[in-house]
Amino acid sequence: MNQPRCIVVCGAGGFLGGHLVADLLRQGRGPIRAVDSKPFAEWLQIFPGVDNVVLDLSDSSACGHALRDARECYDLAADMGGMGFIESNRARCMLNVLISSHLLLAAQEHQLDRFFFASSACVYNIDRQRDPSCAALTEADAYPAMPENGYGWEKLFSERMCQHFHEDFGLPVRIARYHNVYGPCGTFEGGREKAPAAICRKVIDAKFRGLSEIEIWGSGTQTRSFQYVDDCVFGTQLLMRSDYAEPLNIGSTESVTIDQMVDIVEAIAGLKLCRRYLPQAPLGVQSRNSDNTLIRRLFNWEPSTRLANGLERTYAWIHDEMAPRYR
């Protein structure tokens, strides 16, 4: 009768969701319900002592089941991947709106104390990202609206829906715009991986097989900032516990070209490779970097893990995952 209400992590079988559940457990917070549509065998991380549930959150009844007896919901659930997946699955990415819509309705019905929505830097106006030297993106740069097709439009629409649920129904919402999260225990092959994991995989494969060349999507001059997953998890909970209800950047300001990131991974591996560039591969925008003025002002904090340090940990984990296939 007096059991405490739970914290629900949606998308818990995915990369960021798994790290968030792990951190909540380390803090002794709970009870925790971890929800994902994938069968348990496909979850990237799974933990004992958690109410692990397989549910398709694009279905409204599943969302109601997921949020029963809940006090907080972290909506990290989405059908997504790296740029190769996003650019070739725009309709599937748009259908993520079913997840956010049904979760918001369930959160309102169950009168949750907090609802967190994981948005993306893909919401930003693409005209502000056409040159590698473009300025870092502030939260205001999402408007006038011209996000990336498919995934970006869905995220921007769902942001607006979260804000209107807050305005019209009093649901406390928190919205983060994530910038390129990477780290261990993530997807590194199969088509959904993102650039840091893909580059680590390619360099590791070349080292094991004695190859002298790797493929690089684009010209290598595209610029990005990449934030380590531990920083992202910390910033997510910092925002969730705050009173700030507007979209907020959570990302690193350490901008590098793709070629510079390859340089870092090569240094970690202790080799130098020739690069074969694929200009026709899915590229996304030319430049994307986080302006952290607002998050510093609000919380006196910002993601700070240096890319070289985060990539070293990521490389080591992917290396250990890949090594058995070469024996």
Which tens digits make up the pLDDT trace of 187-209? Answer: 999 888 999 999 999 999 999 99
> Of residues 245 and 279, which shows the higher confidence score?
245
Taking only Cα atoms into account, the Rg of the chain, rounded to an integer number of angstroms, comes to 19
pLDDT at position 87: 84
pLDDT band at 114 (very low <50, low <70, confident <90, very high): very high
Q: How many CB atoms lie within 10 A of CB 278?
A: 12
Residue 228 bears catalytic tag: no
Q: Encoding tokens for residue 181?
A: 């999260």
CA atoms 173, 179, 185, 187: torsion sign: positive
List, for residues 139-184, the tens digit of each pLDDT value: 999 999 999 999 999 999 999 999 999 999 999 999 999 999 999 9
List, for residues 99-112, the tens digit of each pLDDT value: 999 999 999 999 99
Of 74, 124, 151, 315, which is the active-site residue? 151
- Mean pLDDT computed over 7-30: 97
User: What's the pTM value of the predicted model, to 2 decimals?
Assistant: 0.95
**Residue 175 is inside which H or E element, if any?**
strand 173-178
Helices 195-209 and 258-269: crossing angle in degrees, nearest 10, is 40
Residue pointed to by tokens 């290598």: 220
The yes-or-no verdict on residue 86 having pLDDT over 80 is yes
What integer best gives the mean pLDDT of the chain?
94
pLDDT at position 213: 94
pLDDT at position 88: 85
Backbone φ and ψ of 34, nearest 5°: -105, 125
Residue 122 contacts residue 179 (beta carbons within 8 Å): no
Residue 104 contacts residue 171 (beta carbons within 8 Å): yes
Distance CA 256, CA 226 (A): 9
pLDDT at position 2: 63
> Going from the N-terminus, what domains does the chain have, and what CATH number goes with each?
6-181+228-250 (3.40.50.720), 184-225+254-290+305-321 (3.90.25.10)
Distance CA 140, CA 120 (A): 14
Q: How many CB atoms lie within 10 A of CB 15?
A: 24
CB burial of residue 54 (10 Å; 0-12, 13-18, 19+): middle
pLDDT at position 262: 97
DSSP letter at 127 equals G
pLDDT at position 133: 76
What pairing do the DSSP bridges indicate for beta strands 6-10 and 70-75?
Answer: parallel
pLDDT at position 82: 78
CA atoms 318, 324, 326, 327: torsion sign: positive
